[in-house]
């Protein structure tokens, strides 16, 4: 952070998501720790690269401004048109659009969690069934059967 503290276009910050930074982390979609984000502060993206100092420095050094309302000249025609369309909308309509999109994300997360709970319950039942079957097979004399077979294979008549 110290190395980039006076940089004109790169900000590296440390946010404690369990304390005063919680609202910022919630807004940026931080779900686990540590999380690294990059990009436009209004639309942060997850960092997926290496976490060692060399990889982080390479990534920071390669960052360039990207297409956004503040840098519209970096956008292709399709993105420029989308930004222009959104800029023409009243704030109330933008709020509604944001709410709609966030609701889709929330619904997707709810569906995901419910499906994971079902999978967990199914896994636990399968695990229990497997253990019960293994115990029943062992109790039914599998070890004794194997011992008798080994005895026969060795040619001895007694254990």
Per-residue pLDDT tens over the stretch 20-64:
988 888 888 888 888 888 877 777 888 888 988 899 888 887 877
pLDDT of residue 157: 66
CA distance 108 to 99: 14
- pLDDT tens per residue, range 127-146: 999 999 999 999 999 999 99
- Counting every residue written for the chain, the total comes to 159
**pLDDT of 158 above 70:** no
Instruction: Give the lowest-confidence range in 33-37, 90-94, 109-113, 117-121.
Output: 33-37
CA distance 134 to 140: 10
- pLDDT tens per residue, range 8-28: 777 788 888 888 988 888 888
List the chain domain ranges. 1-88, 90-159
Cα 92 from chain centroid (whole Å)? 31
- For residue 48, report the phi and psi dihedrals to the nearest 5 degrees: -120, 5
Reduced to 3 states, what is the DSSP secondary structure of residue 37? strand
Higher-confidence position of 11 and 86: 86
Confidence of residue 3 (pLDDT cuts 50, 70, 90): confident
């Amino acid at each position: 952070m110290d190395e980039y503290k006076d940089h004109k276009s790169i900000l590296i910050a440390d946010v404690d998501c369990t304390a005063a930074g919680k609202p910022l982390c919630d807004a940026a979609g931080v779900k686990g720790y540590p999380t690294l984000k990059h990009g436009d502060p209004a639309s942060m993206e997850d960092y997926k690269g290496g976490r060692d100092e060399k990889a982080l420095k390479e990534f920071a050094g390669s960052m360039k401004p990207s297409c956004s309302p503040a840098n519209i000249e970096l956008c292709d025609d399709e993105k420029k048109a989308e930004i222009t369309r959104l800029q023409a909308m009243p704030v109330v309509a933008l709020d509604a659009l944001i709410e709609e999109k966030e609701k889709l994300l929330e619904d997707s997360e709810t569906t995901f969690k419910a499906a994971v709970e079902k999978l967990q319950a199914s896994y636990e039942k399968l695990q229990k069934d497997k253990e019960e079957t293994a115990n029943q097979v062992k109790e039914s004399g599998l070890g004794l059967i194997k011992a008798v077979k080994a005895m026969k294979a060795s040619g001895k008549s007694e254990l």
